[in-house]
Amino acid sequence: YITQSVASPSHENTTEILEMNNTDPSSRNLSSWTTVTSSSPKTTKITKGHQTTQDNILFITGWTGDYEEDYTKISPTVPPNVPLKPCPYDRCKHLEIPCKETQWIAQGRCLCPGVSGPSIRPNMPHLTQLIPGEKDINVSWCSPLSTVHGYRVLYGPSNGILERGPILNGSYRFYSIGGLLPNTLYLICIMAFNDVGESPVEENLELESAMSTPCRLIYTTSPKDIYIYVGVALAVLAGLVGLAVFGYWLHQKSRYSKETSLWEEMVLPNQLYKGDSVEQL
């Protein structure tokens, strides 16, 4: 018996089994022909065994490649006649996950705000809060209604060149600028970018500019040592004033006591003298 495998175009293996007359090696007449079809591909294997001392059986099976699995992206299904609400997404929250992920978790039962596509450069983000320190400034902002891949904070002296901060990913809404000079006016800007370009930046601003713009001027605070020295000086001055007032009060009290004693010394003898004079009369 000889078993032979043939791969068909439809990836099915056809196994052919031939029976041969082994008594006469010169004449190989086919006594039967059997075809067995296997639907699953197998790894090529060749084994040889002995059915009898004269007959050998050769088994040949087909080969297998890796199964190609089709992954179908399942879109969230929305039940009909269900009112949709906005997704719990905050454009001003630091490290907020994208709204599309929130919508996917909700199985499409909420709505995301409309944004411009990736083929348009982002709109300007707007600053929400600036907290100055002696040598740093904390910056917070809100994302624009645009496709944003990341942010960058620009900062520098008001009359100098702006320095570009590190690239921040699209979930950032907060950044702390360090290494600044105390009591100095700085220009702070926030910029969004994607594959198309960067959001515009307005650098010509006044000190009291609106927070809806991507830039703002702000002063860092004065050194804390100055306040300590001023506080100590005021405390010493208050102590000296208190001592002066207390000394003046003691002086006035002592003077009043002396005047009272002198008056008593002058008035008492006169009264005794008058009394003696009356008795003599």
User: Locate tokens 């904070």: which residue?
Assistant: 153
What would the CATH number be for the domain defined by 126-222? 2.60.40.10
pTM for the structure as a whole: 0.54
The gap from C-alpha 54 to its chain's centroid, in whole angstroms, comes to: 79
Mean pLDDT within 162-189: 96
- In the 8-state DSSP scheme, what is residue 146? B
Break the chain into its structural domains and give their ranges: 2-60, 85-114, 126-222
User: CB-based contacts of 193: which residues, under 8 Å, 6+ apart?
Assistant: 121, 122, 148, 149, 150, 151, 152, 199
Tens-digit pLDDT profile for residues 129-173: 999 999 999 999 999 999 999 999 999 998 889 999 999 999 999
Tens-digit pLDDT profile for residues 201-257: 876 555 545 556 799 999 999 887 667 778 888 899 999 998 888 888 887 777 777
- 65 falls in which pLDDT band (50, 70, 90)? very low
The larger pLDDT score, comparing residue 94 to residue 56, is at 94
Mapped onto helix, strand or coil, the DSSP state of residue 32 is: strand
